[in-house]
Structure 1
């Protein structure tokens, strides 16, 4: 056999071995997470939906020990209904594998451009980033508790793909006389479907609604309208199939903020939970919470607009996600998934600054600071939650990163005809590198 063929064969065998090890490691991690967290959230959802299919009210079920009730919109309950036909463990595995697939696809979107920018192969970096993300507490908790957070995360990140394509494509010149198949391909290629992922996520959960508002702040009115239309259509479909549950959800259940856990529980790392524990009350003082929460949300949205205007869509969406998690009344470690891309932004910012030819003292200092922040942030996500919940570690990380996460300015892009130039945001710093 020629030398070149032998080398190619060895390389293929090495890749196959690495893929096999990766798959086995992922399955082992899922099994450990399921055993550690015991599918606590999915168990409540599984029982509530099962009783609902047998004639009971969806939101009447209460877990016998914790008295936790189901806190999912009817649209999501309809989507998860087929899992009730399976044992709880099997349903947990299906949801976990779906979540891992969504995380992998999201990592391609988030980390792929970094590899291309530095002239590296995309696959090794994406697989490494996905493997590191699987080890973090938000991902472990989402998999182990049986929560759909990774699927929602993937839906929102899908809109990043559409917005990137819309920036490059001249979608306003779409030929409406093309055959249907060609128009569908053109719609996919030009990103005019931006907003569909956010709309679906907003119909399935409450937190993604902030991304719908974020699209308006980013001046993506077409995507925001698409997201709103998708969310309303999906909700109306839920109303058609489950009218009583939909009315109950919007009229009563949605406002039961402590339905799953008390607001002052240590697991609640939102601003509301921190204030409730500081004041020693079951719930935070409403005016204090709204005052600080709205201020933090405004800072996150304004800084996200600045990041998006300079070409860093990942940092923009990350800041919106973190601001929503901080403002929401109940945010457990499983819902802190947007801290993971924040660490990626910090690490890439450190490398990006390090590639500057004029390595001044200021650049070296900024590079060291961003590198230390990335390492510290990842260590925070690796740590056991019990060590951090007592000191509000995740909540402090949210507040700091919403206010100080840098972004990476991209080269200037061609402005679309008829679109006014973007104005600078009121809070444009720190920019990063």
Structure 2
């Protein structure tokens, strides 16, 4: 029996569906951008660094005075300053609107790609992505990204597109390398390629990263030397580590009263190794279970945990994580109800956590256990997510009889995940 034709097989219906989607997309963008103003303080700093690079060849000479009266230093790489030169061609307000519109659209693309790569039908994935754009704009990490004029969604989109889109001739790893050249933390995805035994993509990532840095060393040698030899290791330039907005393992230790000492560094290193072991288990188990997007999200969680500074707006990876956990729960509801309930519960917990922005609320008395849980909630969720992915993926592999199958590498797994 031949399958029943889809309504969208008709060109007229397909055209109408596209028009409806675009109208809804415009409505979502309008709702997000018009109902709230975004000052874009961080974007002012990035553009100030770009102008300093163009004028003096060094974005690190001084601090940028923002419209809110705050002096802030440019903390990204020289390559990042060059990237932001494009934004200096238009007025700040227009640049901020363009960035935020692109961020919301980019977030929808990310949510769409992770669903399709995990086996969801494209039409359903598109509908969920549209809803997620509006919903995600209400969660604290994305809202903070829009508020500050941050580029976190673009970095996430570059990684997701590089890994999950089944490019046939695209040199996989290049976009990850470019993202790392802008901001160092995407280098954590080298572990993802390593565990997949995708050594070509790993080499392209490192080569692109090094190439971008080398080009900037030729263009701005003094600024490059200053950044790579001195400023890169100075985490205090990014703000006090103990700020509640620094949701990383290092921030957790700083809020516990552990300062910039050798003993603190050793404790931080030990916690980072534990996070690495947990993430390696989660990524490997997800790859064995054929859950490529979950493996990618798990790798992102590792980067957020071990980075010295992970501001709450860096946690935009929570959006695809919530969607993937919910989708994984739905696909197992009949085959493994217990795992499905656990995944659904973690997804619901994440939704509540990131909608409320719990670290900022301080609803509990200072010094209490609940106060500590709230202040460290993003860090604790990242740890919980890795443990959940490891457990659920290993359980799924065992049910499929795939426990002894090694993680897939190269292009095969991408093609399978996108099919």
TM, length-normalised to structure 2: 0.81
Would you say 1:387 and 2:388 are equivalent positions? no
Partners of 2:281 and 2:310 in 1: how far apart? 22
TM, length-normalised to structure 1: 0.78
Partners of 1:310 and 1:322 in 2: how far apart? 19
Question: Who is 2:257 aligned against?
Answer: 279
CA RMSD in angstroms comes to 3.2
Question: Who is 2:49 aligned against?
Answer: 48
Tell me the secondary structure at the aligned position of residue 68 of structure 1.
strand
Partners of 1:332 and 1:12 in 2: how far apart? 42
The question of whether the paired residues in 2 share the 8 Å contact of 1:299 and 1:402 is answered with yes
Q: Tell me: CA distance 1:329–1:32, structure 2 relative to 1, closer, same or farther (3 Å).
A: farther
1:112-153 deviation line (CA, Å, top 9, x unaligned): 245646x96443233233433333222222222111111110
Question: Who is 1:270 aligned against?
Answer: 248
Partners of 1:8 and 1:190 in 2: how far apart? 29
Partners of 2:47 and 2:156 in 1: how far apart? 22
Tell me the secondary structure at the aligned position of residue 316 of structure 2.
coil
Question: Who is 1:180 aligned against?
Answer: none
The question of whether the paired residues in 2 share the 8 Å contact of 1:138 and 1:337 is answered with yes
Question: Who is 2:367 aligned against?
Answer: none
Tell me the secondary structure at the aligned position of residue 184 of structure 2.
coil
Tell me the secondary structure at the aligned position of residue 239 of structure 2.
coil
The question of whether the paired residues in 2 share the 8 Å contact of 1:218 and 1:304 is answered with no
- CA deviation after TM superposition for structure 1 residue 18, in Å: 5.7
Q: Pairwise mapping of residues 314-393 of structure 1 onto structure 2 (< 5 A)?
A: 314-356=293-335, 363-384=336-357, 386-387=360-361, 391-393=375-377
- CA deviation after TM superposition for structure 1 residue 244, in Å: 1.6
- CA deviation after TM superposition for structure 1 residue 74, in Å: 1.0
Partners of 1:61 and 1:132 in 2: how far apart? 38
Tell me the secondary structure at the aligned position of residue 369 of structure 1.
helix
The question of whether the paired residues in 1 share the 8 Å contact of 2:140 and 2:313 is answered with yes
- CA deviation after TM superposition for structure 1 residue 352, in Å: 1.2
Runs of 4+ in 1 over 6 A off after TM superposition: 7-15
- CA deviation after TM superposition for structure 1 residue 276, in Å: 0.6
Would you say 1:85 and 2:89 are equivalent positions? yes
Partners of 1:219 and 1:12 in 2: how far apart? 42
Match of 1:231 among 190, 209, 212: 209
Partners of 1:84 and 1:218 in 2: how far apart? 40
Partners of 1:205 and 1:72 in 2: how far apart? 6
Unpaired runs of at least 5, structure 2: 1-6, 363-371, 409-419
Q: Report the count of equivalent residues.
A: 380
- CA deviation after TM superposition for structure 1 residue 298, in Å: 2.5
- CA deviation after TM superposition for structure 1 residue 275, in Å: 0.6
Unpaired runs of at least 5, structure 1: 166-187, 357-362, 413-419, 425-433
